[in-house]
Amino acid sequence: MFYWLMKHLIAGPLLKGIFRPWVIGLENVPATGAVILASNHLSFIDSIFLPLVVDRHVSFLAKSDYFTRKGFKGWATKSFMIATGQIPIDRSGGKASEDSLNTGLAVLARGEILGIYPEGTRSPDGKLYRGRTGVARMILEGQVPVVPVAMVDTEKIMPIGTRLPKVGRIGIVIGKPLDFSRFEGMEGDRFILRSVTDEIMYQLHALSEQEYDDVYASSVKEKRASLSR
pLDDT tens profile 97-136: 677 788 899 999 999 999 999 998 999 999 999 999 999 9
Is the CB of residue 209 less than 8 Å from the CB of residue 128?
Answer: no
Whether the CB-CB separation of 29 and 51 falls below 8 Å is answered with no
CA gap 75, 209 in Å, rounded: 38
Q: Which residues contact 195 (CB under 8 A, 6 or more apart)?
A: none
Residue-wise pLDDT tens digits, 154-196: 999 999 888 889 999 999 999 999 999 999 999 999 999 999 9
Q: Report the predicted TM-score, pTM, of the whole model to 2 decimal places.
A: 0.90
Give the mean pLDDT of the chain.
90
Percent of residues, the chain, with pLDDT higher than 70: 94
* SS3 per-residue string spanning 44-100: CCHHHHHHHHCCCCEEEEEEHHHHCCCHHHHHHHHHHHHHCCEEEECCCCCHHHHHH
Contact 61, 100 (CB under 8 A): yes
Q: How far apart are CA 42 and CA 128, in angstroms?
A: 9
- pLDDT tens-place string over residues 22-54: 999 999 999 999 999 999 999 989 988 999 999
| Residues 77, 66 contacting (CB under 8 angstroms) | yes
H-helix or E-strand containing 216? none
CB 41 within 8 A of CB 13: no
Q: Which residues pair with 174 in a beta bridge?
A: 149
Residues 6+ apart with CB under 8 A from 87: 59, 60, 61, 62, 103, 107
Distance in angstroms (rounded) separating the CA atoms of residues 112 and 1: 16
